[in-house]
Amino acid sequence: MKNKLGGWLNGRIGFIFLLVLLLWMKALFAYFVEFDLGLDNALQYFILLINPLASSLLILSFSLYIRREKLAYITAFVLYAIQLILLFANIMYYREFTDFLTVNTMLGVGKVSGGLGESALQLLHLSDLLYFIDLFILPFLLWKKKLQVSTQRIRARKAFAVSLGALLLFSGNLFLAETSRTGLLTRNFSRSYLVKYLGMNVYTALDGIQTYNTYQVRAEASPNELVEVQGYTRAHFAEPNSELFGIAKGKNVIYIHLESTQQFVIDYKLKDENGEEHEVMPFINQLYHDKSTFSFENFFHQVSAGKTSDAETLLENSLFGLSQGSLFSQMGDKNTFYAAPAILNQTQGYSSAAFHGNAGNFWNRNETYKRFGYQNFFDASYYDVNEDNSFQYGLHDKPFFQQSVPYLEHLQQPFYTKFIAVSNHYPYAPLKNDEAGFPMAATEDKTINGYFATENYLDRSVEEFVNYLKASGLYENSILVFYGDHYGISESRNQSMAGLLGKDSQSWNNYDQIQMQKVPLMFHIPGQENGGIRSTYGGQVDVLPTLLHLLGVNSQEYPFLGQDLFSAQHNQMVAFRNGDFISPEYTYHRGSLYHTQTGGIISEMPSEAEAVKEQVATQLAMSNKINNGDLLRFYNNEGLHPVDPTDFVYKNSLERLETEERNLAEKSTSVYSRNGGQTTKDLYESKSYKTYELENGQ
Ligand code: GP9
Ligand code: MN
């Protein structure tokens, strides 16, 4: 037996199988011990178990095509070592950055911030020797002839069979991965997902291809293209509304991201089985109607496959996402941006922070935010996230907002912040324990049924947070911006929604589909009395110029594609990422045209609608030019300078903020300092749905 195995191992194919086995064991060890891949179910475990095999085997099978045995062994050994080094480099990188290495970073283009080089030694563990020990043992065994260099010739046919076997295995892996996560390859959610489903080698290869493509396109772009784009942005600039310009000057900006929240939920009451009505978002509704809130009832999301990340791109850059995939994932670590945090820092001295209870590398945020100029990013690593208080997209909203306070209170004012809530995310799973209780809708679609309860949970979470803002005094000095990032109920489910909206599912059409793309947008400015609900048509691309004008920053010279929603010159055309559009007159979706006001269908496209279609196409084309060509690297503005991403390290943020506080001493403007060097976190009150229900006698 022993001999048989030994004999088999001494064959060339046996040798590469041994190498595959070693790589497999090391990869699995790394998966479970080094990385946090967020495994949710048995299928994911299974995929994880098999994913290192196919690519390693394929790569090592190349050595089988080499005739000269010594060279073949050396090649196999080198290919093995390369994979091992790739794995280990990722382990080291992960220990420092909780993320995987991109090809961009490896090439040094993205310059690793934080000087991994200096700290690398500290990241080494003695047990790491286990990863490499066979690099010495194997040659030793070969030298001592314990493992024999086989002189047996491998027929090309046999070699090919091994490669083919590897490819087949890979297709199986890919199929299972797509089954578990649709859109894995096209939507590039995060590096962790690719590693989890396809393994380190495949992730790196895919990242390499994408990086190559991105650089190909941008190499051809020239500064002249920016001149053309600037011609467009200048011609489309809409003058600020003089009554509103600067009304929030110097105030903190607090963005509250209402995950998957659609406009139809505003003022919506869900009937339970007894016919009793339950207001889904009582708190948001109150704000929506408040005289200090400037609300919009015809505001649309404009995202595509990048979903949340596209909304962030639109809102903070006044640029669209890409027509395919996510701009954050594909270009967030490569392009030059002039985004809200950078502009407000450079023109008004704002500090900045993004808060989100999911892994920092989801949507490549940890890289993209640096290029947006975010000084701080509090991702999941800053929160106490456990099985009970989280789900696949991260920490639930209540603990998320509450646990953000110990960081928020140390930010120097004025600050620009963004809080990305996430509990109201597909699949809208029922809330557990004390948070359960809000009724489910009663359609045949489980996703729809759960949506209202998670919206209600979001509403209560936001209410608690705003109450804290009031208690801590932040509220009075801030402008609160609420927005829905995109639909929560997808088009394919909308027909089942019809009944809940008092509509007939039989006559549900493309006009209704577009109406469902409305999302909330509210600027809440304490102290203002002239808010109200505006019916202006607009989209997410319009938010940044609108916000800057409220803050008293004129955006005339900035490379923005949107327009101030309050401007008398605002052109009320809303482009969807696929070229569809809506204006106060026309709605165009999937080839059908309608009157926006009546919903009546128009059989032939009139020239005015044709003109809007043209304008939409131009706006999208400008965005593609800027993004694909990385044109903002050519942008020059006396008042602004490009962001240096290496200025930002998202580790030890709290310590950094506290040091800054101490250095500024009397001059520190953080809430913590203003509170006499005391934490304000005790001002935060949180209640479960159960308690709330009891108190309200429901
Ligand atoms: C994940 C969260 C959800 O971190 O922002 O993103 P989405 O799936 O809505 O794009
Ligand atoms: Mn989202």
CB 529 within 8 A of CB 291: yes
Whether residue 149 sits in one domain with residue 99: yes
CB 683 within 8 A of CB 472: yes
Pocket test of ligand 1: the residue of 184, 259, 379 to mutate, having most ligand atoms within 8 Å of its CB, is 259
Ligand 1: list residues with CB < 6 Å: 307-308, 358, 362, 393-394, 420, 422, 425
* Residue 405, CA distances (Å) to 47, 183, 499, 694 in order: 38, 35, 41, 27
- Ligand 1: atom nearest CA of 394 is 4
pLDDT greater than 60 at residue 392: yes
The residue segments making up the domain with residue 279 are: 224-683
Count Cβ atoms below 10 Å from residue 475 Cβ, excluding itself. Answer: 17
186, 218, 250 — which closes off a domain?
A: 218
Mean pLDDT computed over 552-568: 98
Ligand 1 centroid–CA 61 distance in Å is: 39
Ligand closest to Cα of 426 equals: 1
Categorize the per-residue pLDDT at 698 as very low, low, confident or very high, splitting at 50, 70 and 90.
low
Catalytic residue among 308, 313, 587, 680: 308
pLDDT in tens, 167-192: 999 999 999 999 998 888 887 788 99
pLDDT in tens, 563-581: 999 999 999 999 999 999 9
Ligand 2 centroid–CA 312 distance in Å is: 10
194, 218, 242 — which closes off a domain?
A: 218
689: in domain: no
691: in domain: no
205: in domain: yes
Q: What is the CATH number of the domain that holds 368?
A: 3.40.720.10
User: Quick check: helix, strand or coil at residue 582?
Assistant: strand
Please name the residue whose Cα sits nearest to atom 7 of ligand 1.
Answer: 308
pLDDT in tens, 624-667: 999 999 999 999 999 999 999 999 999 999 999 999 999 999 99
d(CA 695, CA 698): 8
pTM for this prediction: 0.89
> Residue 256: enclosing H or E segment and its boundaries?
strand 252-258
Whether residue 168 sits in one domain with residue 258: no
Degrees, nearest 5: CA angle 296-299-303: 145
Please name the residue whose Cα sits nearest to atom 9 of ligand 1.
Answer: 308
- Ligand 1: atom nearest CA of 362 is 4
Whether residue 196 sits in one domain with residue 316: no
d(CA 339, CA 353): 13
DSSP 299-346: EE----TTHHHHHHHHHHHS----SSS-HHHHHTTTS----HHHHHHH
Q: What is the pLDDT of residue 111?
A: 46
Pocket test of ligand 1: the residue of 261, 304, 308, 381 to mutate, having most ligand atoms within 8 Å of its CB, is 308
Ligand 2 centroid–CA 224 distance in Å is: 35
Ligand closest to Cα of 392 equals: 1
523: in domain: yes
Ligand closest to Cα of 361 equals: 1
Q: What is the pLDDT of residue 119?
A: 62
Mean pLDDT computed over 276-300: 98
Pocket test of ligand 1: the residue of 327, 383, 422 to mutate, having most ligand atoms within 8 Å of its CB, is 422
Number of domains in the chain: 2
Mean pLDDT computed over 263-282: 97
CB 484 within 8 A of CB 519: yes
Whether residue 293 sits in one domain with residue 238: yes
Q: What is the pLDDT of residue 1?
A: 39
> Residue 231: enclosing H or E segment and its boundaries?
helix 223-235
| 695 half-sphere exposure, CB direction, 13 A CA radius | 6
Mean pLDDT computed over 63-74: 92
693: in domain: no
Ligand 2 centroid–CA 485 distance in Å is: 6
Contacts of residue 174, defined as CB under 8 A and 6 or more positions apart, other chains included, come to: 198
d(CA 556, CA 228): 16
Please name the residue whose Cα sits nearest to atom 1 of ligand 1.
Answer: 393
218, 243, 273 — which closes off a domain?
A: 218
Whether residue 369 sits in one domain with residue 269: yes
CB 51 within 8 A of CB 111: no
CA torsion 522-525-530-535 (nearest 10°) is -10
Read off the tokens for 527: 């102290």
Whether residue 553 sits in one domain with residue 659: yes
CB 342 within 8 A of CB 641: no
Q: What is the pLDDT of residue 113?
A: 44
Ligand 2 centroid–CA 227 distance in Å is: 34
Whether residue 278 sits in one domain with residue 203: no
d(CA 252, CA 279): 30
Whether residue 312 sits in one domain with residue 189: no
Ligand 1 centroid–CA 189 distance in Å is: 8
39: in domain: yes
> Going along 301-428, which residue ranges are E strands?
351-356, 376-378, 390-391, 394-395, 415-420
Whether residue 299 sits in one domain with residue 210: no
- In the DSSP assignment, the letter for residue 642 is -
Q: What is the pLDDT of residue 142?
A: 84
Residue 234: closest CA among 552, 543, 571, 563: 563
Whether residue 512 sits in one domain with residue 402: yes
- In the DSSP assignment, the letter for residue 518 is B
> Residue 595: enclosing H or E segment and its boundaries?
strand 592-595
Count Cβ atoms below 10 Å from residue 496 Cβ, excluding itself. Answer: 18
Q: What is the pLDDT of residue 85?
A: 95
370: in domain: yes
391: in domain: yes
Categorize the per-residue pLDDT at 537 as very low, low, confident or very high, splitting at 50, 70 and 90.
very high
User: Among this protein's residues, is 308 annotated catalytic?
Assistant: yes
d(CA 694, CA 578): 48
The dihedrals phi and psi of 454, each to the nearest 5 degrees, come to -70, -30
Whether residue 228 sits in one domain with residue 197: no
Whether residue 199 sits in one domain with residue 230: no
